[in-house]
């Protein structure tokens, strides 16, 4: 075991900041001296002095030998990996690199349809062909869960030439599948398992949280340390273990998708977050789980509201749940999640995101008792509002929109193909040339290369009418859509 009380990147950055010298290197603001006073007033001088480049004493992200290397080794030890990479371009670049390190042009990769848009970017960059498994879907709550084991077994038997399997753990709603069994089944085909664990970086620090991907047997997992732990936004980690990942190819992929001018403020925040969890992670997660438990119990007592929980009879698609994530269903109030978010925002309460039926709240180590009290008070006020929408309209198109997808060409082919922009009503049965998704969580209803169906169009048209936002496509109003030229 390594001495987790060390902070090599923090120490190196402190030493570099305090070293007297005249700076003739980037960035151009020269340790904050040239920054606009407007930004200095906002952020303070200290963080700007720490905005340094890859100086000799600060190491190099792509060929680390000193501070970064030591910090990554400590992180690997703390999170249970054989090797860890720090990411300054978010989990997006880690997911892209993971796919590129396992798949090339035309290679098949098995993955759930409720993937994040970053996975599609990985498909474009690698040229891989997705073989989709449709996840378990809760028709009543309008929530997609994880993939079922029987579906994975069937898909692998039908595509034994696949190069990798990718899954999500947890979903944006906090739902976890039977990841240990998914790993076991994947490894029976001698394939690597890639896990998008962006929202599960805290799992390894308390027994009452779901099993972490590394413990479950993942070969490569990507975590957004900034999402549920104490790193700064965009700071993430990629962990690997076992012998199924080509490390040289992964290194080259990371160099392709990461900045050559990494932020040492972000890197230092990863070092600090690792230190915090290694030293006090269990107690921090115990308090977080306690606060989330209090909120969960009391929200369930508010008329018209209910919090997603593990079903009485677990299945492989809904095997576990991150209890620090509260998915609050508001449909019995007769309002959409979008309308509910607008209401609580006016009452100084901001959720992680909203969907047609739900509000999602993340309880983390940064929350306190006062936050929970404000959450409960805001939701009590919400429960007393009058009906704003018709529930039939909310759910009318959800099933067909989620299930009916036909991939005609690979995402990479669609990305580079000639396209044209047409009025939405003229795009039916054409091949989509862009990704169209309600955001967050950034899961496309239509992706480049898929056939545009009536159900998908009707579903997407409902989103802005009910207060949601469409992203990914050029025309967010959805009056037009880009399609592949015929």
DSSP H or E run through 326: strand 325-329
CA 393 from centre of chain: 29
pLDDT per position as a tens digit, 381-395:
999 876 555 444 454
Q: How far apart are CA 473 and CA 446, in angstroms?
A: 10
pLDDT value at position 296? 98
Q: Are 98 and 258 in contact (CB under 8 A)?
A: no
Report helix, strand or coil for 183: helix
The pLDDT value given to residue 399? 42
- SS3 string, 385-435, reads CCCCCCHHHHHCCHHHHHHCCCECCCHHHHHHCCEEEEEHHHCCCCEECCC
CB 115 within 8 A of CB 98: no
Cα 304 to chain center, whole Å?
29
**Residue from 214, 205, 180 nearest 319 by CA:** 180
Mean pLDDT of 244-257: 98
240 - beta bridge partners?
A: 83, 220
- 484 forms beta bridges with 419
CATH class, domain 281-389, is alpha beta
Residues whose CB is less than 8 angstroms from the CB of residue 313 and which lie 6 or more positions away in sequence, other chains included? none
Mean pLDDT of the chain: 93
Query: What is the arithmetic mean of pLDDT over 249-254?
Result: 98
Confidence of residue 459 (pLDDT cuts 50, 70, 90): confident
User: Is the pLDDT score of 271 beyond 60?
Assistant: yes
Q: What's the gap between Cα 455 and its chain centre?
A: 26
Determine the pLDDT at residue 395: 44
Q: Is residue 359 pLDDT above 50, yes or no?
A: yes
Predicted confidence at residue 139, as pLDDT, reads: 78
Residue 343 has pLDDT above 80, yes or no: yes
Asked if 281-389 and 396-484 have one fold, the answer is no
DSSP 8-state secondary structure symbol assigned to residue 260:
S
Distance CA 38, CA 30 (A): 16
Query: Does residue 378 surpass a pLDDT of 60?
Result: yes
Rounded to whole angstroms, the Cα distance separating 189 from 156 reads: 8
Distance CA 397, CA 454 (A): 10
CA distances from 254 to 93, 101, 244, 248 (A): 7, 9, 17, 10
Q: Report pLDDT for 389.
A: 53
Other Cβ atoms within 10 Å of 19 Cβ, number: 9
| Least confident interval from 225-234, 300-309, 415-424, 464-473 | 464-473
Distances (CA, A) of 123 to 128, 195, 418: 5, 15, 18
Q: Per-residue DSSP letters for 116-170?
A: -HHHHHHHHHH-PEEEEEPPPEETTTTEE----HHHHHHHHHH-TT--EEEEESS
Q: What does the pLDDT look like over 38-72, one tens digit per residue?
A: 999 999 999 999 999 899 899 999 999 999 999 99
DSSP string, 77-88: HHHT-SEEEEES
Q: Where is average pLDDT lowest: 1-5, 55-59, 112-116, 401-405?
A: 401-405
> In terms of CATH architecture, what is 396-484?
Alpha-Beta Complex (3.90)
Residue 336 and residue 359 in contact, taking contact as beta carbons nearer than 8 Å: no
Instruction: Report helix, strand or coil for 112.
Output: strand
Token pair, residue 279, equals 């030293």
Say what angle helices 264-299 and 8-18 make with each other, to 10 degrees.
Answer: 130
Partners of residue 166 on adjacent β-strands: 194
β-strand partners of 131: 110
Strand partners, 196: 168, 222
- Partner residues linked to 407 by β-bridges: 450
Q: Does the pLDDT at position 263 exceed 60?
A: yes
Q: Which residues contact 72 (CB under 8 A, 6 or more apart)?
A: 64, 83, 84, 85, 86
* Secondary structure of residue 436 in the 3-state scheme: strand
Distance CA 264, CA 274 (A): 15
Residue 110 pLDDT exceeds 60: yes
Percent of the chain at pLDDT > 70 equals 95
Hey, where are the domains in the chain?
A: 281-389, 396-484
For residue 139, give the nearest of 339, 390, 331, 296 by alpha carbon: 331
Contact 218, 54 (CB under 8 A): no
pLDDT at 400: 42
Closest CA to 104 of 125, 84, 126: 126
């Amino acid at each position: 075991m390594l001495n987790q009380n060390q902070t090599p990147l923090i120490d190196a950055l402190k030493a570099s900041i305090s070293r007297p010298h005249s700076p003739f290197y980037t960035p151009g603001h020269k340790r904050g001296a040239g920054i606009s006073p407007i930004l200095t007033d906002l952020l303070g001088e200290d963080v700007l002095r720490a905005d340094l480049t890859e100086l000799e004493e600060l190491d190099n992200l792509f060929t680390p030998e000193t501070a970064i290397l030591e910090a990554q080794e400590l992180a690997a030890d703390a999170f249970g990996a054989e090797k860890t990479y720090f990411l300054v371009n978010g989990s997006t670049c880690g997911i892209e690199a993971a796919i590129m390190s396992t798949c090339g042009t035309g290679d098949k990769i098995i993955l759930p349809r409720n993937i994040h848009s970053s996975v599609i970017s990985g498909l474009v960059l690698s040229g891989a062909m997705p073989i989709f498994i449709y996840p378990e879907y809760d028709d009543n709550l309008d929530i997609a869960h994880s993939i079922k084991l029987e579906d994975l077994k069937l898909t692998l038997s039908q595509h034994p030439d696949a190069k990798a399997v990718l899954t999500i753990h947890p979903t944006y709603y906090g739902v976890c599948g039977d990841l240990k069994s998914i790993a076991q089944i994947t490894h029976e085909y001698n394939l690597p398992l890639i896990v998008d664990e962006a929202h599960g970086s805290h799992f390894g620090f308390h027994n009452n949280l779901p099993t972490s991907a590394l413990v479950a047997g993942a070969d490569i997992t990507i975590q957004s340390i900034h999402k549920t732990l104490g790193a700064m936004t965009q700071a993430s980690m990629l962990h690997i273990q076992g012998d199924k990942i080509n490390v040289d190819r992964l290194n080259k992929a990371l160099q392709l998708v990461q900045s050559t001018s990494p932020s040492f403020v972000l890197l230092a925040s990863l070092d600090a977050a690792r230190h915090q969890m290694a030293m006090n992670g269990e107690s921090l997660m115990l308090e977080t789980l306690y606060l989330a438990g209090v909120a969960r119990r009391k929200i369930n007592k508010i008329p018209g509201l209910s919090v997603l929980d593990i079903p009485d009879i677990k299945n492989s698609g809904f095997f576990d749940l991150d209890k620090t994530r509260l998915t609050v269903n508001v449909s019995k109030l007769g309002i959409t999640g979008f309308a509910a978010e607008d209401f609580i925002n006016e009452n100084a309460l901001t959720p992680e995101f909203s969907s047609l039926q739900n509000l999602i709240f993340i309880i983390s180590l940064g929350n306190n008792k006062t936050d929970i009290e404000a959450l409960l008070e805001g939701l009590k006020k919400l429960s007393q509002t009058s009906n704003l929408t018709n529930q039939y309209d909310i759910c009318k198109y959800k099933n067909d929109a989620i299930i009916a997808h036909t991939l005609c060409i690979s995402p990479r082919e669609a990305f580079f193909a000639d396209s044209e922009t047409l009025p939405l009503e003229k795009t039916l049965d054409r091949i989509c040339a862009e990704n169209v998704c309600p955001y967050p969580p950034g899961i496309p209803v239509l992706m480049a290369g898929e056939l545009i169906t009536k159900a998908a169009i009707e579903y997407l048209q409902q989103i802005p009418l009910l207060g949601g936002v469409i992203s990914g496509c050029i025309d967010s109003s959805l009056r037009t859509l880009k399609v592949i030229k015929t």
